[in-house]
């Protein structure tokens, strides 16, 4: 389902927008550990672009960068942790979190999985491909996404939201391809490692609604950054 599962219509709700800004702030702080200058820090530059794309206030963005870089006192430390398990109807799920308290987050995620099944590391990862995921938009008329993918060294390209393209790469090629795409007419908006289901499941409307509700409850948790679910389009 695209690069990752996303809650429907989340941009329409003010509280959901606040959660999105909170998640981006954490990503900014983590990226800024390697320096507050986006020209010298490609990861930070990408997260800043993603933040601007959803109209994060400039003051919020800049404060997160300074905080992560330690310019406002001691830098905040977050751990990246991943949880694997199944949603209702045996839909495999990987949940990535950034947390300053791993024990608290694990306890709370375990509760959220009560209608599914929380597994151990590796229990569902085999059902996904680990890939580089690059969202990019044409920077000029007439460019061809498939041709750009071949020239830049991507493995594949798929249509994404709002006229963008999703370029898929080997994990080791993520930075190389993201740097090459602008030469072939695409502006990169985000570039990160993620997961794609090998065999997406198709569910009926009632079952899909139940799974969507399960995933939405997890997505609402403050520490959750990304959710990857083995669902078909």
Give me the pLDDT at residue 18, please.
Answer: 81
What pLDDT, in 10s, does the model give residues 69-119?
888 877 678 888 999 999 999 999 999 999 999 999 999 999 999 999 999
CATH superfamily of 79-126+198-229: YebC, transcriptional regulation domain (3.30.70.980)
- pLDDT, averaged across the chain: 88
Give me the pLDDT at residue 144, please.
Answer: 93
Longest dimension (CA), the chain: 52
- The Cα–Cα gap between 218 and 114 comes to 11
CA dihedral 108, 216, 62, 102 (to 10 degrees): 20
What's the pLDDT band for 7 if we cut at 50, 70, 90?
Answer: low
What percent of the chain has a predicted confidence (pLDDT) above 90?
A: 62
Residue 181 has pLDDT above 70, yes or no: yes
- The Cα–Cα gap between 95 and 81 comes to 8
Give me the pLDDT at residue 19, please.
Answer: 81
Do 10-68 and 79-126+198-229 come out as alike in CATH topology?
no
- The Cα–Cα gap between 184 and 186 comes to 6
- Rounded to an integer, the average pLDDT of 188-207 is 91
Q: Where are the domains of the chain?
A: 10-68, 79-126+198-229, 128-195
Which class in CATH covers the domain with range 128-195?
A: alpha beta
**pTM for the full predicted model:** 0.82
Residue 6 has pLDDT above 70, yes or no: no
- The Cα–Cα gap between 54 and 50 comes to 7
Collapsing DSSP states into helix, strand and coil, what is residue 119?
A: coil
Bridge partners of residue 155, in order along the sequence: none
Collapsing DSSP states into helix, strand and coil, what is residue 106?
A: helix
What pLDDT, in 10s, does the model give residues 132-177?
999 999 998 889 999 999 999 999 999 887 788 999 999 999 989 9
Which CATH architecture best describes the domain 10-68? Orthogonal Bundle (1.10)
């Amino acid at each position: 389902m695209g690069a990752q599962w996303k809650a429907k219509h989340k941009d329409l709700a003010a509280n959901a927008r606040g959660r999105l800004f909170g998640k981006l702030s954490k990503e900014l702080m983590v990226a800024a550990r390697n320096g507050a200058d986006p020209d010298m820090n490609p990861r930070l530059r990408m997260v800043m672009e993603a933040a601007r794309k959803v109209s994060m206030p400039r003051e919020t963005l800049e404060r997160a960068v300074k905080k992560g870089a330690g310019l406002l006192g001691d830098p905040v430390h977050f751990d990246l942790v991943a949880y694997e398990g199944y949603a209702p109807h045996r839909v495999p799920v990987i949940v990535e979190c950034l947390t300053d308290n791993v024990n608290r987050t694990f306890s709370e995620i375990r509760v959220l999985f009560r209608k599914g099944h929380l597994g151990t590391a590796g229990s569902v990862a085999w059902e996904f491909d680990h890939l580089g995921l690059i969202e990019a938009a044409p920077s000029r008329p007439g460019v061809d996404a498939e041709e750009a993918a071949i020239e830049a060294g991507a493995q594949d390209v798929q249509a994404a939201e709002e006229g963008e393209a999703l370029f898929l790469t080997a994990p080791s090629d993520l930075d190389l391809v993201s740097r090459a795409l602008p030469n072939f007419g695409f502006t990169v908006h985000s570039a990160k490692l993620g997961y794609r289901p090998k065999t997406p499941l198709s569910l009926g409307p009632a079952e899909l609604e139940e799974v969507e509700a399960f995933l939405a409850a997890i997505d609402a948790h403050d520490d959750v950054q990304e959710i990857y679910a083995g669902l078909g389009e």
